[in-house]
Chains A and B, each alone.
Chain A
Amino acid sequence: MSDLWPRIEPLLARVEKPARYIGMEMGTEPGNLAPRHGSGRAAFLLIYPDTYEIGLPNQGLQILYEILNERDDSVAERAYAPWTDMEASMRAARVPLFSVDTHRAAADFDVLAFNLSAELVYTNLLNLVDLAGVPVRNEDRAPSHPIVIAGGHCTYNPEPLAEYVDAFVIGDGEEVISELAEVIGAWKRGGRATREAVLRELATIPGVYVPSLYAVEYDGPVVRSVTPRFPDVPAVVDKRTVADLAEWPYPKRQLVPLVEVVHDRLNVEIFRGCTRGCRFCQAGMITRPVRERPEEQVRTMVKEGLRRTGYDEVALTSLSSADFSGIEGVVADLVTDQEGTGGVSVSLPSLRVDAFTVGIASELQKVRRSGLTFAPEAGTWRLRQVINKLIIEDDLYAAVDAAYSQGWRRVKLYFLTGLPTEMDEDTLGIAQLATNVTDIGRKYTKQASCTVSVGGFVPKPHTPFQWFGQNGVDELQRKITLLRNAVRGTRAQVKWHDPKATFAEGIASRGDRRIGRVIERVWRAGGTFQEWSEGFSLDRWLDAMHAEGLDPDWFVTRHRTRDEVLPWGHIAAGLHSDFLWQDWQDALAEHGLPDCRWTPCYDCGVCTDYALEHVVASPLAPAGGSQGTGQDLSGPAAAVPVRFLGTKPVVVTT
């Protein structure tokens, strides 16, 4: 249990951003969350497999960190992926992966627990396990090695990492983390017998999937079945859901880093789950139902958080923050409280922007006016009905008009391309929307500009689009070129995500167990940091697929049929397969589906199967806009989901 700091520090003078490796965040000092190790405590190393700046703000990881350090039978520290320069220095100096809290070697922990928020970090997971000095494959690990666990949205299709991760945790982590700590602590105190003993025990915890306890059979290239190898191992692993967010006011002590990170501000989660029903959105499908935090608790968390951290910015986070029942009251109070104090700015990420929410944004951003981001996602009403993003054009124009008239100069429009049924007129519709938006802007200012940001669509498991064959690289590139040509000579500017990265994400997104070896080959060929353009090369992925005898198009661009066993079929988010299939059929019929929070239930399966219900303070849809009904409910105001996008290492080329 040695402190590696004396061996780490000499490496720091020669690496970029050495502060990534020192820890020392406010909130980790003794008396606060300082980790306390002890022989009987289950020691977790919580790892975000991307850089410190990307990983530190992750709220899920911070919540688990707090819960584990509050318990008297567990302890948690944190680690992040060292950048390539540091990794090279560490390997040369034989310094293993270490925690940033006490600079303890990763292999000294009982658990390496990874957060998986994006598929392209999978190669980093393998790299970090290796850097910890732990065998990368499950089957090669001994009882003395840490147990490798993963949680986060990507684990809803755990199969690509089934041979590398010992146990996956599906769903909300607040409750299940303590159950894990108890089982692993008991195993540790009992002298760490076989790995199989503890994994069998873990598999009995609801929400935990231990892939080595399941046999996968194939029928030609298709999965025939995934079957438990023991009677006490569940055939289907259901997600965990925290029924009431009010019981979990975490993080209570958000960490304040010394270096600038993404989302560098106080973050308060105002609700979890979203039932807008956007068919492309995995987060909205797997986090149902909607669970609002009580308005009073939000106020307290904001007030105490600001006072404790010294931050001058707070974000009220959720998947669609303007849908929060108490949004107007909370915002009004924040603005009043802050008058004359030098100012705290408030941001509402993933904001549904219609004229109503632009009004809120305007109140919040009295000083710092940057850009506003709207996410119509598709260029025509027809396609927006397909994807169930029920924004009528008047919604968008009203929102844009409100934004420009209230002083914003720059509007960013976010779109997906490669969506089901997408035709060239949909792509050209994006250009038309952008042109109309700049025309509206020029009524108010000559400097009005509009940036169109286009991401390639990757079908995700547990969504109605899970059966859809993704667009290939050439098709996405063709559509981007079509769009670029269409906006030439206008004031709109187009940015896009690299279609090659979209393709690689598609391999991992709906891959099965065989994709694990592909990920391992990409990692062994040096392919870490695949989310970063400097580290990414599609050729590495295609070479690896070829070497494994797998056809990339079969995994990525092929449409699935209803009777096909999907590789993630034994993982349940509560959504009935019948519901998803019907929603897919409705999509193809260009039929939209309003939000079930304020309309009758469609019986998607989540609330009924898991005995859950929406926790919302108001039974009425918030004011303004069409609210996702596609109908004009209240005149000019509209329901346009809008995002204030944070900084994120998106591979964007101009």
Chain B
Amino acid sequence: MRGGAANPVRLQYTKLGKVRWISHRDVARALERSFRVAQLPLAFTEGFSPRPKVSFGLALSTGHESEAEYLDIVLAEEVDLDRLADRLNSGLPEGIRIVGVNALADRAPALQEAVTCVEWRVDVAHTDLTDVDPQELRDRVDAAMALPELPTTKRRKGRDVVEDVRPVIRRITVCDASSTHAETATELRTCVEMEMSTQPRGAKPGEVLAAIGDFTDIRARRMHQWIERDGARQEPLDADTRPRVPNAYAS
């Protein structure tokens, strides 16, 4: 039934493994199907063509993995949030897993505006896919960070445009240990952590690496998203929450 009390809920999910090759749109469709399989009582928009109230956070490019993707939904009635992840996971493909659920305050700022910073873990190679020496990469990163501008060519709407990615970069750390993705990687690669702004515009890890030197991303995994306010930062699941209703009925 439409109408009723609005219960906004924020979900955290992963996109790991083979499923990284599907598009952001495909992920959205898989999640929406899982809502229907679980017969989740979603709230619908008013009007001639009602749509479920679902709003996705930042897009994740095809081929990238993530441990920290988010979306907000509005439920038409209370459901047991402790059981919600399990209900949805049985209808989701391997690698896409709901890993966190929290009740959201009414009128919480939308994820796409609220998230200001993301952290990536990236396996790096040269553009010809040969291995990168960690010290060489450290030197190039240090040199790049010292520059006032880092112009790079990006593909936007089918056209090449030159953009400065220097303002996007908060931090790049070349890791001592090799790839964290070793469980699926065929070989160990030099790995970096990248902390990057998403506002007013972000950049892809590969675009930043290309601006730094002859580097490319072999495998990129988003590790965190951050909402920064008044000098403090929170993971989206901890921001704008409302207390959970105790002993809510499972629907």
Chain A residues proximal to chain B, CB less than 8 Å = 5-6, 9-10, 12-13, 18-19, 21-24, 26, 29, 256, 258-260, 307-312, 340, 342-343, 367-368
Contact = CB atoms under 8 A, between A and B. Distances in A.
9 contacts: A10-B186, A19-B62, A24-B19, A258-B22, A259-B22, A260-B25, A310-B35, A342-B52, A368-B49
B148 interface: no
A22 B1 CA distance: 37
B235 interface: no
B94 A367 contact: no
A367 B39 CA distance: 21
Nearest to B30: A258
Given A18-B21, A19-B23, A342-B52, A310 B36 contact: yes
7 nearest interchain CB pairs? A310-B33, A310-B36, A310-B37, A18-B21, A19-B22, A22-B18, A258-B22
A12 B37 contact: no
A266 B79 CA distance: 28
Interface of B: 1-2, 18-19, 21-23, 25-26, 29-30, 32-37, 39, 42, 44, 48-50, 52, 62-63, 91, 93-94, 129, 186
A22 B50 contact: no
Contacts of B44: 342
B33 A24 contact: no
Contact of A308 (B18, B30, B37, B63): B37
Contact of B19 (A22, A260, A343, A367): A22
Contacts of B37: 307-310
B26 A259 contact: yes
Nearest to A306: B36
A5 B184 CA distance: 10
A12 B36 contact: no
A12 B21 contact: yes
Contacts of B50: 342-343
B63 A18 contact: yes
Contacts of A26: 33, 91, 93
Contacts of A19: 21-23, 26, 62
Contacts of A259: 22-23, 26
Contact of B63 (A13, A21, A311): A13
Nearest to A26: B93
A258 B26 contact: yes
Contacts of B32: 310
Task: Give the residue among A6, A10, A24, A26 with the most B Cβ atoms within 10 A.
Answer: A24
Nearest to A19: B22
Contacts of B94: 24, 29
Task: Give the residue among A258, A308, A367 with the most B Cβ atoms within 10 A.
Answer: A258
Contacts of A260: 25-26, 29
Contacts of A10: 129, 186
A340 B1 contact: yes
A309 B49 contact: no
Contacts of A256: 33
A408 B49 CA distance: 16
A51 to B, nearest CB: 16
A24 B18 contact: yes
Given A9-B18, A342-B50, 10 more contacts: A12-B21, A13-B63, A18-B21, A18-B62, A19-B26, A24-B19, A24-B93, A256-B33, A260-B25, A310-B36
A311 B33 contact: yes
Contact of B21 (A22, A310, A342, A368): A22
Contacts of A342: 42, 44, 50, 52
B36 to A, nearest CB: 4
Task: Give the residue among A6, A18, A307, A309 with the most B Cβ atoms within 10 A.
Answer: A18
A307 B21 CA distance: 27
B18 A310 contact: no
A605 B1 CA distance: 55
A21 B63 CA distance: 13
Nearest to B33: A310
B186 A6 contact: yes
A475 B58 CA distance: 55
B74 to A, nearest CB: 13
B64 to A, nearest CB: 10
Nearest to B25: A260
Task: Give the residue among A5, A19, A309, A343 with the most B Cβ atoms within 10 A.
Answer: A19
Contacts of A343: 50
B150 to A, nearest CB: 23
B207 to A, nearest CB: 14
Contacts of B21: 12, 18-19, 21-22
Task: Give the residue among B2, B19, B29 with the most A Cβ atoms within 10 A.
Answer: B29
